[in-house]
Amino acid sequence: VDEELNLGVPSRRGWPDGVHLSAEVRAVAPQLLGLWLALGVSDAELRRQLVQRVLRRLQAEVERDHRPAGRTLAEQAVCETFAFIDDWLARVVGGVAGEPPDLMPFRAALLDGALPDWPLALLHPPAPGAREILLAAIPRPLPPPAPLAMPRAELRLRRFRPAAWVRRLLSARA
């Protein structure tokens, strides 16, 4: 794994860009490799770069002592992976007015391959047109609300009670 990630030949400070990765952070690299593989990134070099990006984010979190309680570092790394994707998506769809958009539909569209070469795109600022492509591909399960009231229909049943009829008949005769 170290070889694939080029983690085995860091400088004294870490990687060439100067970010030091602690052993603890480096230890979760296999999980991230597996995650990116499961996300469909089959290109080894691309996968390496993406893992490095996430590890750097994770390292920064660790150095800020931001360690959510009850969560292992590996779990935090997985979260950080999706946060990395969501941050990129937020930059793509940042133009949406009002409340911050729910990025889940965009993430679904992205991971489903709506944007060609999306793993490579994650390493760069969003390209023009990416927003339109993703907007056209996000799942839209429901149309805009247009409610129409349905008042409960009245269905008055006739009661079929032969015994009551007989009683009534007898009492009438009496």
Partner 1 sequence: LNVNVNVNVNVTGPPPVRGGPTGPEPPPPARRILHALLVFASVAFAVGLLGGAVQAGGVTPLEFSLLVLYALLSGWIALSFWTAVAGFFVVLSRGGRRRQTPLPAGSSARVALVMPIYNEDPQRIFAGVEAIWRDLEGTGEGQRFDFHVLSDTRDPDLWMQEEAAWYRLCRRLGAHGRIFYRNRPENTARKSGNIAEFIERCGAAYPYFVILDADSVMSGPTLVELLARMEADPRLGLIQVPPVAVNRGSLFARVLQFAGALYGRMYCAGLAFWQRGESNFWGHNAILRTQAFAACCALPRLPGREPFGGEILSHDFVEAALLARGGWSVVLAWDLDGSYEEIPPTLIDYAKRDRRWCQGNLQHARIILAHGLRLSSRVHLAMGVMSYVASPLWLLFLALTAVEAWVQSRAVPVYFFGDTTVPIWPDTYSFELTSVLLATLVMLFLPKLLALALLLFDGRARRGHGGLAGAVGSVLLEIVFSVLLAPVMMLFQSRFVFATLARRNVGWPAQQRDDHATHLFEALEAHFGQTLLGGLVGLWAWWHVPDFFWWFTPVLAGLLLAVPFSMLTSRVDLGAWAARRGLFLSPEERERPPCLACLDAAMAVALPPGASGLRRVLELPAAASLHLALTPPGAALTRRESHRLEGILLALEEEGQAALDRADWRFFLARREGLALWLERRWAALPLSVLAGPEPPQTQRQGQDRGSRR
Q: Which residues bind partner 1 (CB under 8 A)?
A: 1, 28, 30-31, 33-35, 37-43, 71-72, 74-75, 77-79, 82, 102, 104-105, 107-108, 111-114, 116-119, 136-158, 160
**What sign for the dihedral angle of Cα 29, 35, 38, 43?**
negative
What is the C-alpha separation between 41 and 111, in angstroms, rounded?
Answer: 10
Residue number with CB closer to partner 1 (21 or 103): 103
Q: Least distance to partner 1 from the beta carbon of 173, Å? A: 25
Contacts with 99 (C-beta within 8 Å, 6 or more apart), sequence order: none
Q: Least distance to partner 1 from the beta carbon of 114, Å? A: 7
Residue number with CB closer to partner 1 (13 or 87): 87
Residue number with CB closer to partner 1 (157 or 170): 157
Lookup: tokens for 16: 């060439």
What is the C-alpha separation between 30 and 125, in angstroms, rounded?
Answer: 26
